[in-house]
Amino acid sequence: MPYNEEDYLQMSGIQHYCFCKRQWALIHLEQTWEDDARTMLGEYFHKNVDNRGSHEKRKDVIISKSIPVSSSVLGLSGVCDVVEFIRDDVGTEIPKIHGRFKILPIEYKVGRKKAGDWDGVQLCAEVMALEESFQTKIEEGAIYYGQEKRRTIFEMTDELRQKTIYLADEMHSLFISGKMPKAEYQPHCGKCSLFDLCMPSGSSGFGIKEYIDSCVRQ
């Protein structure tokens, strides 16, 4: 069942949700955010591709930056950092740029490839949105990791697609409920910029607002 456009959530949020449901809820339900050195470096890193609507041609490749995308299947909308249209005789016909092309979305991340699926899920959401827009099938996407200074190719497997759909549906359910997930300490918690804001609520399931209210009542 497709989502209505007014119900779309932020596409980048699916990476937060896959990393930690509580982190996603703090950001997207309670609008809580705190920068640290890692997030500030990420913002600076993205300035290189944050030039919405710009296009560059290199031989048989057209490079488009900051492309708005949305998916009614996932109920998500956002921006692809870079999309490369690579001329290919058996590729997808792109009327506006006259010809057939292979479509390769490229997400930019400041760090290294993670052990989990966090980045792959976000990239898959972008791929699925592009597939809806161009009525085509995209077999792979890429993430450029700043610390590694190279691209990593991600295959868009059925398993990854199903996981992306499942997480997107979960996000919508949690958003509608407005319920804050409980704090559960994980090894990657120390990498979260919201660590200090998250941990005071312990395992109670309270959010920041409830925690502050409880302190006032004491």
Q: Measure Cα distances from 183 to 25, 135, 136, 204 in Å.
A: 11, 41, 40, 7
pLDDT for position 188: 62
Mean pLDDT check: name the lowest of 116-125, 154-163, 193-202. Answer: 193-202
Mean pLDDT score of the chain: 81
pTM, 2 dp:
0.79
Residue 88 has pLDDT above 90, yes or no: yes
- Express as a percent the part of the chain with pLDDT over 90: 52
Q: What is the pLDDT of residues 44-72, one digit of tens each?
A: 445 555 565 567 888 899 999 999 999 99
pLDDT at residue 110 in the model: 84
Residue among 128, 164, 211, 201 nearest 13 (CA):
164
The label of the residue with tokens 């099938």 reads: 137
CB atoms within 10 A of CB 124: 28
Reported as a pLDDT band with limits 50, 70 and 90, residue 204 is very low
More confident residue, 98 or 167: 167
